[in-house]
Chains A and B, each alone.
Chain A
Amino acid sequence: MKEYLALFRVRFITSLQYRAAALAGIATQFAWGFMELLAFSAFYKVNPGAFPMEFRQVVTYIWIQQAFLAMFMVWFYENEIFAAIQSGAIAYELVRPVDLYNRWFSSSVANRLAKAVLRSMPILIVAFLVPPPLRMSLPPSGGQFALFFLSTFLALGVVVSFNMLVYISTFYTLSPVGARIIAAMLADFLAGSIIPLPFFPAGFRYVAELLPFAAMQNMPLRIYSGHISGTAALYGIGFQIVWLITLVGLGKFLMKHALRRVVVQGG
């Protein structure tokens, strides 16, 4: 365990150094967040009763999503991992007495956490200061906040374990840029990154809420905003745990298979 913590630490510290990237990210997330808020507020002005979530909940959903984007977005891949597989630098990773799955998992989590730490504070501060209709609200209760906290980390785990499947696929198809992007777009859409899952049409929503993507940002954001609470929230967390275990198990199995037939590229 200690060695993974050490790898986690070095990745975390390295990621913290990229301040310019963080600033650019914050700017993008403000722009995107405001755009979404304006679009939703236009819809709600027409008919506030026609939607499955209260406007207040949607506003909070969007602000937290933007603040913790780096933890929730599937497309935040670790390019180093793709590069290591494609260039053959993975040879060095394989001569270490470290489980490669755990190693990549911990460095992905570290990278995402470091990015989120840098970016979340300014966004949250602004979100609590803007005038009321667009202002972010506090969670309904302390207990609900604790559930949100737990659910956030489970969501991060599910996102990273899904990323791991994409990394592992690189062993089989060497330049999966296209597949990578499509996987990320689809996953993010089904996770509720464009519109929250409750806005999906009924039948489609029913299916979407069973997929692993619903165990990503969908859960913590709806728990924080109070759209899911009480036993429903506990059920949601159980749902996340089940998918986390499934995806990690699948990833470890595939990794083992991939390493057995691995071809280290480039001499």
Chain B
Amino acid sequence: MIQLQNISKTFRIAKRQAGLGRAVKALFSRDYETVHALRDVSFTIGPGEMVGYIGPNGAGKSTTIKIMCGILTPSSGTCLIHGRIPWQDRLRHVSEIGVVFGQRSQLWWDVPVCDSFELLREVYRVDAKEFRRNLDELVPLLDLSEVLKTPTRSLSLGQRMRCELAASLLHSPQILFLDEPTIGLDAVSKIAVRQFVRKLNQERGTTVILTTHDMQDIEALTRRIILLGKGRILFDGPLDDLKKRFPGAKTITLEYRGNAPSILPGVEILDSRDGRLVLKVQPTRGLVSDLIAHIASQVQILDLSVAGASAEEMVAALYKEYAI
């Protein structure tokens, strides 16, 4: 159980103007700027939930994660995880959570991955049996058998991220924080990571809190999203609710043979070249089928796809609505 109540965090940052003169002046008197990273953030996450924590860069996602991990102390507000205040009882708290920071590595750079795992076993005081069991489960799931003997520095990013995931789960944590776990990964690795996280959540009942910019991660993994902008929560609820709020336009992509066809009024052309046409249609009744029939009567359609508003577009629209 994770409970955050009215969490705020402000940073004081020394401002420095460009230029030598200003730099010299800054030696004597500094201008400070107060940055409100989080304002009044409250939410509750139950055991076994999988939550997508999203927002633009600088919205305060990582700050929230770090507070929940016990690394940062908030300026005000309370946070209880498993009945503990993370930053006050850090050592005990962190032994029950797993963390992956997508942009950093927790593996020892120069030693083989299995040695890093062994070291983490010592650090978390995992007993040999549990460690073996976890490893036997994680290695095939994440397809690690080939890379266990490789030093971290020689791994590809995709391989490394799979190892990072395994590393964060060796001590069977009940909560897993994933801070941009798919950043920089290719499509195959992304899918592998997503499948694994879903399985973990379903089979072990691990609570997963995931920050990402990749809306496909969100669509593939989470029912509930918390959308953060400029340190405030803008939306907290099921992704589907958000979708309903934004019925949004349909995008029709088609490939055809022949001359460029005419279209119906109310349809917007997004792209048109070399027998490929991308159209945006407001979903009024029957328009989509009328449009397709209209085009099919003029040209031979080779390929056709209709897509609803992507989560990405919805988020962009939300950002606009709240003027972030």
Contact = CB atoms under 8 A, between A and B. Distances in A.
Partners in one complex: yes
A267 B91 CA distance: 22
A6 B91 contact: no
A169 B23 CA distance: 23
Given A91-B66, A262-B72, A3 B104 contact: no
B69 interface: yes
Contacts of A261: 73
Contacts of A267: 57, 62, 103
B110 A95 contact: no
Contacts of A13: 111
B91 A263 contact: no
Nearest to B96: A97
A14 B116 CA distance: 12
A264 interface: yes
A96 B125 CA distance: 11
Contact of A14 (B95, B103, B111): B111
Contacts of A5: 122
Nearest to A261: B73
Contacts of A3: 122-123, 125
Nearest to B121: A6
A42 interface: no
Contact of B94 (A14, A17, A97): A97
B84 interface: no
A6 B122 contact: yes
A94 B70 contact: yes
A5 B125 CA distance: 12
A10 B111 CA distance: 8
Interface string B99-129: 1010111101011000100110011110000
Residue in A91, A95, A261, A267 with the greatest tally of chain B CB atoms within 10 Å: A95
A13 B112 CA distance: 12
Interface string A103-141: 000000000000000000000000000000000000000
Q: How large is the interface on B (under 10, 10 to 19, 20 to 34, 35 or more residues)?
A: 20 to 34
Contacts of A7: 119, 122-123
B132 interface: no
Interface in B1-35: 11
B59 to A, nearest CB: 11
Contacts of B95: 97
B183 to A, nearest CB: 11
B90 interface: yes
B71 A262 contact: yes
A113 B237 CA distance: 55
Interface centre among A6, A17, A88, A92 (most CB of B within 10 A): A92
A91 B101 contact: yes
A99 interface: yes
Contacts of A17: 110
A255 to B, nearest CB: 12
A11 to B, nearest CB: 9
B92 interface: yes
B101 A94 contact: no
Contacts of A45: none
A145 to B, nearest CB: 34
B66 A98 contact: no
A89 interface: yes
A95 B119 contact: no
A99 B119 contact: no
Nearest to A97: B95
A13 to B, nearest CB: 7
B153 to A, nearest CB: 12
Contacts of B66: 91, 264
Interface string B262-306: 000000000000000000000000000000000000000000000
A267 B115 CA distance: 29
A94 B110 contact: no
Contacts of A264: 66, 71-72
A95 B92 contact: no
B97 interface: yes
Nearest to A259: B90
A2 B121 CA distance: 11
Interface string B56-76: 010000100010011111000
26 contacts: A3-B122, A3-B123, A6-B118, A7-B122, A10-B108, A14-B110, A14-B111, A17-B110, A88-B104, A89-B104, A91-B66, A91-B101, A91-B104, A94-B70, A94-B90, A94-B94, A95-B97, A95-B99, A96-B94, A96-B123, A96-B124, A98-B91, A98-B123, A260-B73, A263-B11, A264-B71
Interface of A: 2-3, 5-7, 10, 13-14, 17, 88-89, 91-92, 94-99, 260-264, 267
| A-B interface, 10 closest residue pairs, ranked by CB to CB distance from nearest | A6-B122, A97-B95, A94-B71, A95-B99, A92-B106, A3-B122, A3-B123, A95-B94, A97-B91, A14-B110
Given A94-B71, A262-B72, A263-B11, 19 more contacts: A3-B123, A6-B119, A7-B119, A10-B108, A10-B111, A10-B119, A17-B110, A89-B104, A91-B71, A92-B101, A92-B104, A92-B106, A94-B90, A95-B97, A96-B124, A98-B91, A99-B91, A260-B87, A264-B72
